[in-house]
């Protein structure tokens, strides 16, 4: 039971870390251009005075952060073997998985216009779904790597179902708690 709790704690900590890296990625272009920006565990707060063309790169920064942290963890998972590796891999691909679920259910992987702005920064169609597909591929790649390396048994389906529900609750809760704490402090800046 103690090891089970540790694995779940590592999993949720990894989700928190990957979301923070995503938000940190948004802030880097703002900082390099001299604008005020603060990354929090589930949202970035950036000066309202940012130029529109810079907003595209700010959006792209978060996407790059998510993709890089996912690819690095997948690479490490393939090359190092530790008992906690599956929990870390699952935690890092949970966010691309959530973007994919949102894409399937609502037609967009991210709320607002973040993916569209990031696509514009890359020279891709603003109204297209390039980043939605990239996150879908990233999620599937992470799952396939996990399946090939760990060779799970059919018994894992129950744990994956529980993990899916808990992940959904955790991500929604993280956003709600983050906004309740930081919106009053940082929104008006």
Q: What is the pLDDT of residues 48-94, one digit of tens each?
A: 889 988 999 999 999 999 999 999 999 999 998 777 888 999 999 99
Of 7-11, 142-146, 158-162, 182-186, minimum mean pLDDT range: 158-162
Q: Is the pLDDT of residue 112 over 80?
A: no
Question: What region does 44 belong to: left with phi over 0, alpha with psi -120 to 50, or beta?
Answer: beta
Q: Is the pLDDT of residue 45 over 60?
A: yes
CA 2 from chain center: how many Å? 27
pLDDT for 166: 93
Q: What is the mean pLDDT of the chain?
A: 91
pTM of the predicted model, to two decimals? 0.91
Alpha carbon distance 109, 100 (integer Å): 6
Of 3-7, 129-133, 138-142, 167-171, minimum mean pLDDT range: 3-7
Give mean pLDDT, residues 9-34.
96
Beta bridge partners of 98: none
Of 68-72, 126-130, 132-136, minimum mean pLDDT range: 126-130
CA 82 from chain center: how many Å? 23
Give mean pLDDT, residues 124-139.
92
Answer whether 153's CB lies under 8 Å from 164's CB: no
pLDDT for 180: 96
Strands 43-46 and 37-40: what pairing?
antiparallel
Q: Is the pLDDT of residue 102 over 70?
A: yes
pLDDT for 158: 79
């Amino acid at each position: 039971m103690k090891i089970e709790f540790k694995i779940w704690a590592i999993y949720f900590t990894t989700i928190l870390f990957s979301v923070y890296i995503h938000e940190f990625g948004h802030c880097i272009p703002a900082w390099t251009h001299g604008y005020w920006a603060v990354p929090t565990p589930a949202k970035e707060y950036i000066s309202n005075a940012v130029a529109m063309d810079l907003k595209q790169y700010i959006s792209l920064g978060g996407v790059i952060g998510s993709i890089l942290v996912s690819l690095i963890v997948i690479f490490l998972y393939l090359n190092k073997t530790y008992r906690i590796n599956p929990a870390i891999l699952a935690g890092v691909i949970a966010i691309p998985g959530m973007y994919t679920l949102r894409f399937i259910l609502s037609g967009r992987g991210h709320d607002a216009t973040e993916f569209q702005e990031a696509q514009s920064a890359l020279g891709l169609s603003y109204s297209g779904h390039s980043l939605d597909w990239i996150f879908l591929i990233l999620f599937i790649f992470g799952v396939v790597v996990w399946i090939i390396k760990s060779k799970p048994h059919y018994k894992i389906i129950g744990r994956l179902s529980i993990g899916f529900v808990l992940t959904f609750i955790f991500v929604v809760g993280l956003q709600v708690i983050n906004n309740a704490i930081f919106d009053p402090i940082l929104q008006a800046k």
